[in-house]
Amino acid sequence: MKPLSTVLGNELSGNGVGAHVHADRYGKDLIHLKKIIKELYRGSQFEPSLVAPGGFFNQQWFTKLLQVSGSNVLDAISHHIYNLGAGSDPKLVTKILDPNHLNKVANTFINLARTVQTHGPWSSAWVGESGGAYNSGGPHVSDTFVNSFWYLDQLGMASKYHTKVYCRQTLIGGNYGLLNATTYVPNPDYYRQEIDISSSLLVCHFGFTLLRFCLKYSALLWHRLMGKVVLAVGSDASPFLRSYAHCSKGRIGVTLLVINLSDQTKFITDVQNSMNNNIKLATEQLNISRKSFSRSLKNIASGAEIKASSDEYSYREEYHLTPKNGYLQTRTMVLNGIPLELTSTGNIPRLDPIRVNVKSPVSITPLSIAFIVFPDFVAPACR
């Protein structure tokens, strides 16, 4: 009997990267691989999921793959995203802070969601690898605060368009590592997540061993605050104010993520409950000087804007993320005016919110990110 040749591998979809495989061939090989998995795990209560192809999205190729492989072969269909381009691009920071550039990748999420719904509803969409900028990311960019704007925006967008898993490149290694490769101290992006399969979006990270880890500061906050259900957000604000909302995790209420890409506009936002589980942001824009910007950060640090109350539902919780000393390419993230640094025992620091009167407007300073938790916000989808 002639030996069966099976061709599977990384980034072979569409035109591939260095090499490619036709979708019909890849689909037939997946059928063969699924049979091998079934045989190896026969009688076991545990069976690995089959996730493929792990390449860049090409709608025609991905459609053909699902049609050829057929139902219940692929558990998840994965694609890679590096929408910031090459890490060596001197305009990398400009791209990260450009809302028009960030919007371009939405078509990939939308078209993949439609492809899965139409041709593979038994499957789900995964981002199998993403680091923002390819070729190990950008030096002094991908491992600094400014990368958080791209990263959290893409987590919000991925959830909005039904992505179930987002695997970040990488835990350790390259400029886009979540941990410093020498000291293992967390980079700013670390503080945005950790693993949780109950979340609307499971966020994973690759190390050089290709094991998936789920850790990180801004990602850590995402994990702790953002629940399963994604809510629509309507806004009259400038495109430089990005906004995403979920039902809060493990509690009643809603958590809003807002990202201010502007370097000179402060947004004052009134958060309103709209129909059909929507959130509406009525926003005022204020141009401020660098001096006023610094004063706003000091107010957050000192608690000058806090109006505490003993009534649990008379306040909201705010987590404001800013760069240390206002320098976007710092490796130190500041939460509510307090630098996030490992404790003397090497543990993750406390990530405490400030409490603000729920009736007051939300204030988002230039070039900052905020998670806002509304304990008393009533959304039918969150019950």
Q: 26-70 pLDDT, tens per residue?
A: 999 999 999 999 999 999 999 999 999 999 999 999 999 999 999
Residue 183 structure tokens: 């000291």
Quote the pLDDT of residue 299.
58
Go through 90-113 and write b for each residue having 16 or more CB atoms within 10 A of its CB, e for each that does not.
Answer: eebbebbbebebbeebeebbebbb
Quote the pLDDT of residue 202.
63
Judged against a pLDDT cut of 70, whether residue 303 lies above it is answered with: no
Quote the pLDDT of residue 208.
34
99-103, 198-202, 228-232, 344-348: which is most confident: 99-103
Judged against a pLDDT cut of 50, whether residue 194 lies above it is answered with: no
CA distances from 225 to 168, 173, 324, 365, 379 (A): 19, 28, 23, 21, 16
CA dist., res. 223 & res. 209, Å (int): 24
- With 0-12 / 13-18 / 19 or more C-beta atoms within 10 angstroms meaning exposed / middle / buried, residue 246 is buried
In which band, very low, low, confident or very high, does the pLDDT at 120 lie, cut at 50, 70 and 90?
very high
Judged against a pLDDT cut of 70, whether residue 207 lies above it is answered with: no
CA dist., res. 62 & res. 39, Å (int): 26
Name which of 222, 271, 218, 265 is nearest 240 in CA terms: 265
Helix (H, G, I), strand (E, B) or coil at 285: strand
CA dist., res. 102 & res. 105, Å (int): 6
Directed axis angle between helix 106-119 and helix 59-69, to 10°? 20
- DSSP state, residue 312: G
Between these two residues, 345 and 187, which has the higher pLDDT value? 345
Percent of the chain clearing pLDDT 70 (strictly above) = 82
Average pLDDT score over residue span 330-336: 92
β-partners of residue 373 are 255, 317
Domains of the chain plus CATH, in order, are 5-218 (3.20.20.80), 228-289+314-375 (2.60.40)
Mean pLDDT of the chain: 86
Structural contact between residues 52 and 96, judged by C-beta atoms closer than 8 angstroms: no
Quote the pLDDT of residue 312.
59
Judged against a pLDDT cut of 80, whether residue 190 lies above it is answered with: no
Percent of the chain clearing pLDDT 90 (strictly above) = 67
Quote the pLDDT of residue 5.
58
The DSSP bridge pattern shows strands 315-323 and 354-357 to be: antiparallel
Query: What is the pTM (predicted TM-score) of this model?
Result: 0.87
Between these two residues, 197 and 160, which has the higher pLDDT value? 160
62-66, 151-155, 174-178, 229-233: which is most confident: 62-66
CA dist., res. 377 & res. 272, Å (int): 9
> Per residue in 64-92, pLDDT tens?
999 999 999 999 999 999 999 999 999 99
Name which of 317, 125, 156 is nearest 232 in CA terms: 156
In which band, very low, low, confident or very high, does the pLDDT at 259 lie, cut at 50, 70 and 90?
very high
Q: Just list the catalytic residues.
A: 11, 129
Judged against a pLDDT cut of 50, whether residue 127 lies above it is answered with: yes
Residue 237 structure tokens: 């604000």
Query: What is the enclosing helix (H) or strand (E) of 52?
Result: strand 51-56
Average pLDDT score over residue span 222-246: 94
- Asked which of 31-35, 283-287, 307-311 is least confident by mean pLDDT, the reply is 307-311
DSSP 89-150: -TTHHHHHT-HHHHHTTHHHHHHHHHHHHHH-TTS-EEEEEE-SEETT--TTTTTSTTHHHH
Between these two residues, 245 and 308, which has the higher pLDDT value? 245
CA dist., res. 260 & res. 266, Å (int): 8
Quote the pLDDT of residue 211.
26
> Per residue in 343-377, pLDDT tens?
898 888 899 999 999 999 999 999 999 999 999 89
C-alpha angle with apex 266: 264 to 271, nearest 5 degrees? 150
Judged against a pLDDT cut of 50, whether residue 309 lies above it is answered with: no
Directed axis angle between helix 23-40 and helix 59-69, to 10°? 40
CA dist., res. 233 & res. 362, Å (int): 15
